[in-house]
Amino acid sequence: MFIKKALTIAALSAVASVSYAGSAHALGFTYNAGSFRTPGVTDQGAFSKNVNQQGYTTLDFNDGALPGNDKVKYSFSNGSMSTTAYSGQSGIYADQWAPSGVSGEVNSSNYLAVFQGNDAIIEAKDGKKFNYFGLNLGALSGGNTLRFFDGANLVKELTYELMSTLAPTAAQQHGGEKNGFFEFFSEGNNDNFDKIVLSQVGGGGFETDNHTFRVGTGKYTSVPEPGIVLGLVGVGGMFLRKRKSQKTA
């Protein structure tokens, strides 16, 4: 029954807004193939369409160090991370399991991998909250689990069964396992979140890359690109000039 339902959802659209019945809150999300941060650079995985916009923060793990900045804190539930290839420990790596690019391209950059027994925890600093979060999910496999919290309250939980059904890109280097870019956004104050937990239940790993955040409260409203704002100003000026001309006539 669940498989049949999931396939029906997937058939609706490759880019859709979904409500998750497992939560009383309305945190929505979209899923798509993602975007490239820099035109022509296809070996860094997929990014949010907002990656280059002011007001958003993107962490790509490329320096191999524990990520974080003045807005976001990363930690691991057992207190440590690894960078030793194929160690089976949560940490930052660069190998064939990195989440793929927009069309399944090989990602040669560093990415975050989570294994059983050591969750990755992402928190907003200084008592702030998020109302947007996007991440590149790759080589999705059984046990992958993504949870959003507001304090101790669970806002939303997604598991492999749903994420793999919706993810649009099958990567050859992952044996056909699914990849995609998922974006989560608040519908109001009751589904803002201050903590995100990435977990692996059972064997296998949970691979992600290119995390993009927006700190804010209330309903998420995307920030328009500067060119769009200028375009709207120009259109407004055109109509104003036309109105003045008609009045003079």
pLDDT of residue 54: 93
What is the CATH classification number for the domain harbouring 161?
2.60.120
> Cα(208)–Cα(136) distance, rounded to whole angstroms?
5
Residue 92: name the closest of 212, 194, 203, 198 by CA: 198
Q: Residue 89 sits in which domain range?
A: 2-248
Total count of domains within the chain: 1
pTM: 0.82
122, 195 in Cβ contact below 8 A? Answer: yes
pLDDT of residue 91: 97
Per-residue pLDDT of the chain (249 residues; tens, 9 = 90+): 333 333 333 333 333 444 443 444 579 999 999 999 999 999 999 999 999 999 999 999 999 999 999 999 999 999 999 999 888 999 999 999 999 999 999 999 999 999 999 999 999 999 999 999 999 999 999 999 999 999 999 999 999 999 999 999 999 999 999 999 999 999 999 999 999 999 999 999 999 999 999 999 999 998 654 443 344 444 444 434 444 444 444
Q: What HEC string does the chain produce?
A: CHHHHHHHHHHHCCCCCECCCCCCCCCEEEEECCECCCCCCCCCCCECCCCCCCCCEEECCCCCCCCECCCEEEEECCCCCECCCCCCCCEEECCCCCCCCCCCCCCCCCEEEEECCCCEEEEECCCCCEEEEEEEEECCCCCEEEEEEECCEEEEEEEHHHHHHHCCEECHHHCCCEEEEEEEECCCHHHCECEEEEEECCCCEEEEEEEEEEECCCCCCCCCCHHHHHHHHHHHHHHHHHHHHHHHC
